[in-house]
Amino acid sequence: MKKKNFYILAVAFAVLFSSNLFAGHHGGEKPMKKAILLVAFGSSEESARISFENIEKRTRTAYPDVPVFWAYTSHIIRNKLAKQGLLLDSPEVALAKLSGEGFTHVAVQSLHTIPGFEFHDLSRVVTSFKNMGAFKKIIQGYPLLATQEDMERVVEAVLKTIPKNRKKDEAVLLMGHGTHHPSNVFYTALMFQLQLRDPNIYVGNVEGYPEIPEIKEWLMEKKIKKAWLMPFMSVAGDHAKNDMAGDDDDSWKSILTNAGIECEVVLKGTAEYDEYVDIWVDHIKTPLAHF
Ligand code: CO
């Protein structure tokens, strides 16, 4: 048995034997108690803390009657924060606590960008808690990009957040994370729909098609002289600071600069802009509507 599976099972037993899960059979119907669990990969960056606070504030404003909780999926980030005295729960632990505290309906909102591995890992956790009967209802909300409507809203968000002083003949290059998951196609789908509006906007990935060699070719074919580099990740963390904007030879900035393309860097994650945050926050509506 994989360590992670064993861990989920252990949490499951803890929930079953410690909580009021069986209360319904003896003490009548439990009153409805709703919760929102926001789930992010996590970050130890200061800028991320500000973004996460903003997401929480906008969530509380949109759903004032529902308490908001957090979980981070990355154990590396959780361990790093624990050393600074900040204790963050994994989704498994957060859900076990919510069940123990008598919450009956939980909206689990993924703060991921695409429905890739992490989104589907979270789905398995949600399904496990559902199968255990830990809540009356537990429903997961979509990440930033899932439906065609999301795609159109993200296109608008990109167009609105490009710096105003960028000229039309200058490229805008968004750096996505990219993945080996089939959902990597969301990035090229987004690029296609962006280019219908503005042919000089590109979406590339750190790991996953298209990467910087392809993008460089395309920019050179178009004789682009200048490119604006912006992260298409919720947090402007390590990838944005080093792989995108770093001074090493293999950073996007260096590769393009060496190809004769002047680079301007914007170091802000998508979670720093309300245009993107509101898409995630709106996605919580769907689970809440089914309670
Ligand atoms: Co990465």
- pLDDT 10s digits, 73-116: 999 999 999 999 999 999 999 999 999 999 999 999 999 999 99
Q: What are phi and psi for residue 122, nearest 5 degrees?
A: -65, -40
2-145+274-289 maps to which CATH number?
A: 3.40.50.1400
Q: Which pLDDT does position 1 carry in this prediction?
A: 47
Span from the CA of 284 to the centroid of ligand 1 (angstroms): 26
Span from the CA of 131 to the centroid of ligand 1 (angstroms): 31
As a whole number of angstroms, the distance between CA 115 and CA 62 comes to 23
pTM across the whole model = 0.89
Span from the CA of 177 to the centroid of ligand 1 (angstroms): 6
Q: Are 291 and 32 in contact (CB under 8 A)?
A: yes
Question: Is the pLDDT reported for residue 12 higher than 80?
Answer: no
Question: What is the arithmetic mean of pLDDT over 142-171?
Answer: 98
Span from the CA of 44 to the centroid of ligand 1 (angstroms): 14
Q: Which pLDDT does position 26 carry in this prediction?
A: 52
* CATH 3.40.50.1400 location in the chain: 2-145+274-289, 164-265
Res. 38 pLDDT band, cuts 50 70 90 = very high
Span from the CA of 86 to the centroid of ligand 1 (angstroms): 22
| Digit-coded pLDDT (tens) for 40-84 | 998 888 888 888 999 999 999 999 999 999 999 999 999 999 999
Which residue in 105, 177, 239, 283 is the catalytic one?
177
Going by CATH, does the domain composed of 164-265 fall within 3.30.465.10? Answer: no
Question: Is the pLDDT reported for residue 234 higher than 60?
Answer: yes
| Digit-coded pLDDT (tens) for 244-272 | 999 999 999 999 999 999 999 999 999 99
Span from the CA of 95 to the centroid of ligand 1 (angstroms): 26
Specify whether 177 is catalytic: yes
Question: What is the arithmetic mean of pLDDT over 223-239?
Answer: 96
Average pLDDT along the chain: 92
Span from the CA of 240 to the centroid of ligand 1 (angstroms): 10
